[in-house]
Structure 1
Amino acid sequence: MTSYSDKGEKHEKGKFLSFDHITFWVGNAKQAASFYCNKMGFEPLAYQGLETGSREVVSHVVRQNKIMYVFSSPLNPGNEEMGEHLMKHGDGVKDIAFTVEDCDFLVQKARERGATIVKEPYELEDKHGKVKLAVLQTYGDTTHTFVERMGYKGLFLPGFHSPLFLDPLLSKLPPGKLNFVDHVVGNQPDEEMVPVVEWYLKNLLFHRFWSVDDKQIQTEFSSLRSIVVANYEETVKMPINEPALGKRKSQIQEYVEYYGGPGVQHIAMNTSDIITAIRNLKERGMEFMVVPDTYYQQLREKLQGSKVKISEDLDILQDLKILVDFDDNGYLLQIFTKPVQDRPTVFLEVIQRHNHQGFGAGNFKSLFEAIEADQSARGNLTVLSPSGEAEFV
């Protein structure tokens, strides 16, 4: 596990402030938005569709504190771009948007360094003000939108209206208590992680923040490599993963195969009270990964030799199956949902940090073993031959 202190060069102008919103392309935006509201504690924020004059794409925007997700679906049979994306990838993340200062400058610098600009900077305007946006291509079919809000006072973006319907059930459910997007993880095929990392360093002036390799992260069957890139202010963190060859197919490789290439594997959402959050989310019917009780026996033994004191009750953490990772300075608490669609691709994480800026490396083995149990149930924990080909047993 390696942490990096060199932040690289700072933009002389323009900067990345935070995650703005994350857009999912899904088969049924109305139902996907409803799932996140009912199960994860989001609330409807904004809508764009036939009733607002959008004839090609419908979008439902949901929010929880600073987290905004947009679920978009094609309205017409002839929408080839969205149709092909859905056929290839299933429901998944199409775009990760950043709130930026000086969109024009950031796009110009990225262009000079060789980035592919999908949409040059353009402005949207309504009675609430103006927003400037631009779109860049990143790994696979995934894009990044730069959002310069220019004092915009509307609900979300120009062209969006208030939701058509507010579900009366939502106010009766316990709050999700999720605050902001902590990090967004992208999975790559083997040997494609470093080129993607280099893309962020070169084109967005991000820097290496943290990394682990397959010698540090492995189970009996599989392993991974991961490098986290971050903006200069370290408010945007993007772990980039790839599988490492093991005895059996890793969950990273399973993702790449079912998603049809590189893409967003999971979104981590930060909370300041993970115990209440997970109790409430479980009460709402959210399904999480389960680690065995032996994990907590080993955790108690490790903590005896540590300077760090966990302020939460370990019995409660064990009951809720919340994972703990720690070093000499602090600790983090985290838990992962099961995949949130039928394909074993995108899932979600809830994380609480106590002076610990890592990504749960101490839990990767336990998490992998839990995922491997699910992989086995799906018939996907296949044996790999020396060439890396799957052999069914």
Structure 2
Amino acid sequence: MATDTTSQQLEKIVPEAEDFLPLLGTDYVELYVGNAKQAAHYYQSAWGFQPVAYAGLETGVKDRVSYVLQQDKIRLVLTSPLQSGGEINQHIDAHGDGVKVVALWVDDATKSYQETTKRGAKSYMEPKTVSDENGSVTLSGIHTYGETLHIFVERKNYKGVFMPGFKPWNPDYKTEEVGLKYIDHMVGNVGWNEMNKWCEFYAKVMGFAQLISFDDDDISTEYTALMSKVMSNGNGRIKFPINEPAEGRKKSQIEEYIDFYNGAGVQHIALATDNIIETVTQLKNRGVEFLYVPENYYDDVLDRVGKIDEDLAPLKELGILIDRDEEGYLLQLFTKPVLDRPTMFFEIIQRKGAQSFGKGNFKALFEAIEREQEMRGTL
């Protein structure tokens, strides 16, 4: 993980955020999965992630195995249980494969724990320091929505490959990266009337501020609707939109997610790129499936968003959506669910100045999701 100077780390771009932790970025995202070895192969082959580190029987871990993969600043940890019973199996049984930990990079994991728990966060793990010959990492953790956790990671005294307990993983098989840079935002789906509760949690417990909110007038189609608020930390590196269902004629994507995930959880991870045409082309060539956007979306899109740098033809061919705000425009595209349950998916996003989240695309996006729901028989 690249480090920055302190002045960069602490530069505040969201003035309303108290930012008392503060957070330096996303350290890693850990998924509990049924078969980490095969999941690792998928993220290497299809997504261009590079092998970094491994923990399991060979490193003295008896109950689980974890593979660490990285692409630029995005780090994934894929963890599977090695024995029956236990909390990892229970999590997979309840939710299927899914995000368990959103780990946050901090300067001081002890202070982060103290600041959040004294404001009402439920403790998951008191501060502990783990060490090996490469130094030490201090970890602490709190609960957030559903069974999701935030682990605070303080790694300024560590020079090893990931953290103590892991060894370098350097297989013969490696793939080319696809141009993914960092996590732009991570979206949580929560139950009916829970959005404000969790937005207040991020404001009060973690010092975030609300960037933007969308109601069911903004995010609705003929059939379904949802409501969403976007919470951000002070330096803008951590952005968590929180979605809840809204009343509609049919079952929304949020309700479908909660039904199949059995509760609240991470719905999608938005990955940033500097060249969305190149990135999406490579992902499609490697078998990643994206939502279908009808060709008529492009008939008047430039009337709505104005001049853009890219040719429209490749955007139309790939189904990439375009939206503009006061600060610029953005390009975005959403995968189909990457798991058997219709739960987690990814967004690919390229920002050309825009700091928003594609409000102008919501209707086209939701109609695309509804087409998928209809095929699944869950609309």
Please say if residues 95 and 145 of structure 1, whose CA atoms lie closer than 8 Å, have aligned partners that are also in contact: yes
Per the alignment, residue 66 of structure 1 pairs with 73
Please say if residues 132 and 150 of structure 1, whose CA atoms lie closer than 8 Å, have aligned partners that are also in contact: no
Per the alignment, residue 334 of structure 2 pairs with 336
2:169 is equivalent to residue 163 of structure 1 = yes
Per the alignment, residue 385 of structure 1 pairs with none
Amino acid at match of 1:349: E
Q: Distance in 2 between matches of 1:194 and 1:10?
A: 19
Residue from 124, 129, 139 that aligns with 1:118: 124
Q: Distance in 1 between matches of 2:222 and 2:14?
A: 32
Per the alignment, residue 364 of structure 2 pairs with 366
2:69 is equivalent to residue 76 of structure 1 = no
Q: Distance in 2 between matches of 1:325 and 1:211?
A: 17
> Shift of residue 335 of structure 1?
0.6
Counting only pairs closer than 5 Å after superposition, residues 1-393 of structure 1 correspond to structure 2 as 6-11=15-20, 14-78=21-85, 80-163=86-169, 165-167=171-173, 170-171=174-175, 174-303=176-305, 306=306, 309-381=307-379
- Structure 1, unaligned runs of 5 or more: 382-393
Q: Distance in 2 between matches of 1:5 and 1:95?
A: 25
Matched residue of 2:139: which SS? strand
> Shift of residue 301 of structure 1?
3.1
> Shift of residue 224 of structure 1?
1.1
Amino acid at match of 1:243: P
Q: Distance in 1 between matches of 2:172 and 2:240?
A: 33
> Shift of residue 165 of structure 1?
2.7
Q: Distance in 1 between matches of 2:249 and 2:131?
A: 55
| Count of residues in Structure 1 that have an aligned counterpart in Structure 2 | 367
Q: Distance in 2 between matches of 1:362 and 1:208?
A: 20
> Shift of residue 281 of structure 1?
1.0
Q: Distance in 1 between matches of 2:121 and 2:177?
A: 41
How big is each residue's C-alpha offset from its partner over 1:315-346, in whole Å with a ceiling of 9 and x where there is no partner? 11001111101124310001111101110000
Please say if residues 175 and 280 of structure 1, whose CA atoms lie closer than 8 Å, have aligned partners that are also in contact: no
Matched residue of 2:178: which SS? coil
Please say if residues 175 and 277 of structure 1, whose CA atoms lie closer than 8 Å, have aligned partners that are also in contact: no
Please say if residues 27 and 91 of structure 1, whose CA atoms lie closer than 8 Å, have aligned partners that are also in contact: yes
- Structure 2, unaligned runs of 5 or more: 1-12
Q: Distance in 1 between matches of 2:336 and 2:223?
A: 20
Please say if residues 327 and 355 of structure 2, whose CA atoms lie closer than 8 Å, have aligned partners that are also in contact: no
> Shift of residue 151 of structure 1?
3.1
Amino acid at match of 2:114: Q
Please say if residues 47 and 164 of structure 1, whose CA atoms lie closer than 8 Å, have aligned partners that are also in contact: no
Please say if residues 71 and 177 of structure 2, whose CA atoms lie closer than 8 Å, have aligned partners that are also in contact: no
> Shift of residue 8 of structure 1?
3.4
Please say if residues 14 and 234 of structure 2, whose CA atoms lie closer than 8 Å, have aligned partners that are also in contact: no
Please say if residues 340 and 346 of structure 1, whose CA atoms lie closer than 8 Å, have aligned partners that are also in contact: yes
> Shift of residue 164 of structure 1?
5.9
> Shift of residue 210 of structure 1?
1.6
Q: Distance in 2 between matches of 1:77 and 1:364?
A: 42
Matched residue of 1:179: which SS? strand
Please say if residues 142 and 263 of structure 1, whose CA atoms lie closer than 8 Å, have aligned partners that are also in contact: yes
> Shift of residue 6 of structure 1?
4.7
> Shift of residue 227 of structure 1?
0.6
> Shift of residue 175 of structure 1?
3.1
Q: Distance in 1 between matches of 2:211 and 2:162?
A: 31
> Shift of residue 374 of structure 1?
0.5
Percent identity over the alignment?
47
**TM-score under structure 1 length normalisation:** 0.91
Q: Distance in 2 between matches of 1:103 and 1:259?
A: 30
Amino acid at match of 1:175: E
Q: Which runs of 4+ in 1 moved over 4 A?
A: none
**TM-score under structure 2 length normalisation:** 0.94
How big is each residue's C-alpha offset from its partner over 1:2-52, in whole Å with a ceiling of 9 and x where there is no partner? xx96523342xx410001100000000111111111111111110000111
